[in-house]
Chain A
């Protein structure tokens, strides 16, 4: 299953902000990037203006492999927003790089979901302007 939308109601789309813009610009190009510290190489997600490890302000966007595993997931039985059709799954993916991403699964049956399941990123166009990174079973 994948998340289905009620097209008459616009789902919330990411709020862009100078500290997170690089992530979403890459998603529009169908690339997954993570923020990384130029000083010590620590990955930060969600993006932060400063490195929590070495406190450097030198940040960069570094390509991520797009591969990871399911760390946890929930199933909404009732949609909290009219844009979403219930039931739907929200997943927390642990990427190879160590960072975690909240997302949705694509083409994964409810009985297949398991913590530790290998996944890889895909890019789903949810409306005219917006792509979202989502995950399918790794090949």
Chain B
């Protein structure tokens, strides 16, 4: 019954000294102990393709990957509270048994005695999480304080490298709003826009316009996932998971790393795409409908490039005019409106819409859709899904 039995083994362990004051940051302790565990196993950092942490650990996975040069994670996640040590092993065992990763590292580092936790919202030891630390130290003092600003930095570079501009990006929002206009449950029902409306919208953080950016909303979503055997007896036509992948690459932050050689690309999306297409045994041209991360319109062309719908640097031109990406086009996108045309709940509605496309119940139904693709997390560690009938 339990499919993980004998499918995974712990091959390396390390435990540092105990002290009242280690005199080092938790991030440093994490790097040291992970290296020691890999040494114990006779493996090296480049063998690692999975990483699991305890939720309250101040050292985020991406600080560890950036510090240790872990170039290609296909599995990562976190677990809460006291159960964590064994629960992290469970997560890792499931990943290894399913083939989502071959070599998963679990870590925990706490300055529990030298730092005293007074504010519950700070991580266990009272140290600020490494993501927040980067922002507060190296970005916020200069006024780079919002997600919109962080994305704008990447978009400017993309525009410089490819010649892309607003007249092309605007088609993403225009098509999303077109689709959203036909969705009675979305925020923009019967409220399409034109490219002219987009170009007239005010610049928020140059080069991003108001209509490039999602708006926060109150919303909730949930999914239920079972085995195909159980699915057979249930009410709905199952949306079968043909491929599902995650990716985190070496030098990264929670969103928009500026410190990689090339910042105007989404390599995580590329890795997710490659893995999903391989697992599902399909190519981009086999996909009937795609829900891409449209929190920021200019990131959609980059996703199209990484997914292989067009070549590098061609994504914005691909969207121009809207015909290739609207219903009836080569690859209809965000058919219920997406973040820009339906509402923003951080990509959850994109998965719901993909399921509806497979069921045939979408407000923007692609006739006979058999393969639906989703990308979530453009601009940082990303994930994707291919659903089929």
Contact = CB atoms under 8 A, between A and B. Distances in A.
Contact of A12 (B136, B146, B153): B136
Given A88-B143, A115-B157, A15 B133 contact: yes
A61 interface: no
Contact of A126 (B66, B128, B141, B251): B141
B143 A18 contact: no
B149 A72 contact: no
Given A12-B141, A88-B143, A52 B153 contact: no
Contacts of B204: 77-78
Interface of A is mostly: loop
B142 A90 contact: yes
A123 interface: no
Contacts of A101: 138
B200 interface: no
Contact of B156 (A16, A18, A74): A74
Nearest to A91: B142
Nearest to A130: B141
B308 interface: no
Given A13-B141, A100-B259, A115-B157, A50 B205 contact: no
Interface in A20-64: 20, 24, 45-46, 48-53, 55, 57
| Interface size of B as a range | 35 or more
A71 B156 CA distance: 9
A71 B161 CA distance: 11
A20 B25 CA distance: 10
A14 B28 contact: no
A79 B143 contact: yes
Contact of A77 (B45, B137, B140, B203): B203
A122 interface: no
B8 interface: no
Contact of A90 (B63, B143, B263): B143
Pairs of residues from A and B, 9 with the lowest C-beta to C-beta distance, nearest first: A52-B69, A49-B28, A75-B206, A12-B140, A48-B67, A50-B31, A74-B152, A72-B157, A14-B137
Given A74-B156, A104-B142, 9 more contacts: A3-B143, A15-B133, A50-B28, A55-B69, A72-B154, A74-B144, A77-B206, A84-B143, A100-B258
Interface of B: 24-25, 27-28, 31-32, 35, 45, 63, 66-69, 128, 133-134, 136-146, 149, 152-154, 156-157, 160, 202-207, 250-251, 258-259, 263
22 contacts: A15-B133, A18-B28, A24-B137, A49-B27, A51-B69, A52-B251, A53-B69, A57-B32, A72-B153, A72-B154, A74-B144, A74-B149, A74-B152, A75-B203, A76-B205, A77-B204, A80-B146, A81-B145, A90-B142, A90-B144, A102-B142, A104-B143
Interface of A: 3, 11-20, 24, 45-46, 48-53, 55, 57, 71-81, 84, 88, 90, 92, 99-104, 115, 126, 130, 132
